[in-house]
Structure formats: C-alpha cells, structure tokens
Amino acid sequence: MTESTGRNDVSRRELLKGAAATGIVAVAAGSAIARATSAHAASTTVKGYGVTTSQLKDWSIMEKSIGLKMEFTGTNADIGVFMRDVISNDLGETHDIFIFDGGTEDILGPQGYYAEVIEDHPELNLWARTSDNWKRTDLLQDDSGKQYGVPVIGNADSFGYFPESIGANPNGLDEIGWHMMLDSDETKGRVSLDRSWLLSSPEVANYLKYHGRADIKDVANMTGEEARIVADFAADRKRAGQFRSLHAAFEEQVQLLSNHEIDLINCWEPATKEANNILGPNTVMYAFTVEGYYKWGHGAYMHTKALERDNVDNIYRMLNYYMTGEYRAYQADQRGYAGPNMDLGIKYAEENGWSQEKIDNLKWTEKKVNKKFEKPFFGKPAAPNAAVMEEEWQRFLNA
C-alpha cells in the first residue's frame, strides 16, 4: 500500500463558517466517494473512511482472527477535506467508522455526526484495560468530556536526520535540538520543512518559546500576534537559505531522505523506515529532541447513522480490534507507531513465533514512545485559532 499525501494544510475556515451558520454544509460537487443507494443490511463487512496510516497492509490478518472484513476508503490528512466528506457528502450513509487525527470530535460530535462510545458494549472488551493516557485525552473527547473516539495509533513527531551529517551519535539516542532544523549555519541549505502550518508552525513556535525567544502561551493555538512572530522568524530563516525545500507529501519525504538530498526533515517516522529500507538499517534516525514534539493521535469514530444498522455489534468488534495485541503488533512493526496496549502487541508477537528481532523492535517502540512522552507535546488539528495561524503561515510561504 502506498501512503496518501500526508497531513497537509488544514483549510477549515470556510467549512467552520458555514457549519456555524447552518449546522450543515451544502453538498459539495465532485466528490470522489460514490454514494450507496441503499442502507446497510446485517453484514460482517465494516466500511471505514480515513487516513491510510491506520490501515493494516493486509486486512486478511484481521479477517482470520475476528471474522470481519474491512472495506477502507483512504483520504489524505487535510482536516477540511475530511470534514467536508463527512458533512457535505453524507458518508454516514455508506461508511460505519471514520478514522482521523484527534480533534474532529470537537466539531463532528456535538453536531451529531459522531456517536458517543458505548463503553460497556460487550464487543468493546478491551476498553477497561486500556490506559486513560490513550483513551481519556482531548484528542478523543470533546470539551465537555463526552467520549467520541476509540484510540487507534499515535506518535510524537519530530524530524529525520543523518547522524554523520550533523555529528550525532549513530545509535540515534542523542537528543537533538530543533536549532539544527531551524537555525543553524551548520545545516543551512540542507533542511526540508513541511509546508503545512499544522506540522511546522507549532514546531517553530515551540522552539522559540522553549528558548525564551518568544512569549507564546499555547504553541498549538496561537493568537494572531504570536503566529505573526513565528511566521516572521521562519521567513527570516527562509531568506537566509536555511531550507533547501518545502515538502507536502509522504512520498516526498521518502524521496528526499532516500536520495540524501537533505540532512534533516520534519517528517513522519514511517518515512525514515522506508528510507532505511532503501539505504540500509539505521542510516536515517528519527530524532529524540531537546524541546519537545508534535503530538497526534488517530481516533476511530462511529457515525450516528451506523447505530441504525444491524451490524452495530460487528462495528464495535472492529473498534475493539484497534486496541488488540494483533493490531498493535502489526501496526508497530509496519510503521513504527505506538498505541494503546503495547504490552499486548509484544505478547502477541511472542506467542505467534515472531523473530526475536521483531519482538525487540516492538519492545523498543514501547520504550521509545515512553521516552518521548517525558517531553512537552503540542498539536491541535482543529485549533480554535487555526484560521489566523494558517493566514500568518501563508506569509512565510510567500516570503
């Protein structure tokens, strides 16, 4: 499976303006999603829509273990596109669950598109043993504390780098400062920055805040003045030649790394894994950082219209699957992401005869995420101030 274009620019201004005024958005033209002409009957097939990083590369594994089939329609990680499809194109008529970055529940839950999680549903048998650190977060609950999402995967994003290019320990355990990405003559012209305000603006803000160079209360939800300071700094670094390129897609991340066109790139961790598949193990490292990380988590959300179908139990069985050891083991092995119940993933690998190397990698994934979680986090895909942050970041792009 090929990754879709990654978590790209979030254009939600017009969407939220219309949603606030009417509660719904007019049907958008040109949807790529075919609409079903009849309601679901009882079925062992669960239909999902969302980001491709949540998928198993082979869903037949799940079919063998719990007897369900997954029909998944992938999209990129543009929150505006995602919510337009859920609202304007009424995908609740054709799809059961939606998987996306946490934050959409703040809008789609109260507006009636997401159903609250029935926590004591018999098929959701792993809910009680799942850590509150994963399930009771503001990435899965709305501001009132209503639970709309089941945790799927999550990570603390930073940047990929070539240790020898920046004089770092080749074991990848050094904590690298964000100045190497943003503000270093040593790496000038050898850096690629994600062009998305969502993935880059908070990272720049956190760097400035951490080092006392800007007074920013919430780097993930900046005021206009705070966002202006961040954009001005980034624009100055751009004019100074710090950034060799600005990238937008997962495939670009892999290409830039595998061709060694750059020394550092703020990217998804799977991009470093794909590059190492080409260049050799441990050629590229994914950074532990001094200042902190961009935090994100994918939630699985059940559409309210799915409650009217005869396969609700199977939908909940699917939601539960995201918290199982089988899903955790394959997801971590294939993409390097963590999630709830990592201990069950390790146990699954051990009981199913996985190689010691794979088991050790799962254990490392658990330790790696725990290490990252010791640092500050930031990330709000549906931040209230998203529009002004996006506007200010556009000045950086135009600089």
- CA–CA separation, 338 vs 341, rounded Å? 9
Q: How many Cβ atoms from other residues are within 10 Å of residue 27's Cβ?
A: 11
- CA–CA separation, 37 vs 132, rounded Å? 40
In this structure, the answer to whether residues 137 and 185 fall within a common structural domain is: no
CB 218 within 8 A of CB 292: no
Let me know if residue 373 belongs to a domain.
no
| Ramachandran bin of 87, using left for φ above 0, alpha for ψ from -120 to 50, beta for the remaining angles | alpha
In this structure, the answer to whether residues 21 and 145 fall within a common structural domain is: yes
In this structure, the answer to whether residues 240 and 118 fall within a common structural domain is: no
Q: pLDDT tens, 93-127?
A: 999 999 998 888 989 999 999 999 999 999 999 99
Let me know if residue 67 belongs to a domain.
yes
pLDDT score recorded for residue 384: 87
pLDDT score recorded for residue 272: 95
In this structure, the answer to whether residues 130 and 45 fall within a common structural domain is: yes
Q: How many Cβ atoms from other residues are within 10 Å of residue 159's Cβ?
A: 26
Residue 115: both structure tokens together: 């159903």
Query: Domain count of the chain?
Result: 2
pLDDT score recorded for residue 20: 41
Let me know if residue 361 belongs to a domain.
no
CB 282 within 8 A of CB 169: no
In this structure, the answer to whether residues 278 and 315 fall within a common structural domain is: no
| Ramachandran bin of 291, using left for φ above 0, alpha for ψ from -120 to 50, beta for the remaining angles | alpha
User: Pairing mode, if any, of strands 288-289 and 175-176?
Assistant: parallel
Let me know if residue 241 belongs to a domain.
yes
In this structure, the answer to whether residues 124 and 41 fall within a common structural domain is: yes
- CA–CA separation, 269 vs 284, rounded Å? 10
> Which CATH number belongs to the domain containing residue 116 in this structure?
3.40.190.10
In this structure, the answer to whether residues 63 and 135 fall within a common structural domain is: yes
Let me know if residue 367 belongs to a domain.
no
Question: In the chain, which stretches have pLDDT less than 70?
Answer: 1-42
Q: pLDDT tens, 167-220?
A: 999 999 999 999 999 999 999 999 999 999 989 999 999 999 999 999 999 999
In this structure, the answer to whether residues 144 and 232 fall within a common structural domain is: no
In this structure, the answer to whether residues 204 and 220 fall within a common structural domain is: yes
Let me know if residue 231 belongs to a domain.
yes
- CA–CA separation, 207 vs 179, rounded Å? 8
Place of tokens 């799915």: 306
In this structure, the answer to whether residues 263 and 226 fall within a common structural domain is: yes
Model confidence, pTM: 0.76
Domain of 238?
159-291+379-398
Let me know if residue 87 belongs to a domain.
yes
Let me know if residue 7 belongs to a domain.
no
In this structure, the answer to whether residues 249 and 386 fall within a common structural domain is: yes
pLDDT score recorded for residue 396: 98
- CA–CA separation, 102 vs 208, rounded Å? 25
Directed axis angle between helix 250-258 and helix 269-279, to 10°? Answer: 40
pLDDT score recorded for residue 140: 93
In this structure, the answer to whether residues 282 and 177 fall within a common structural domain is: yes
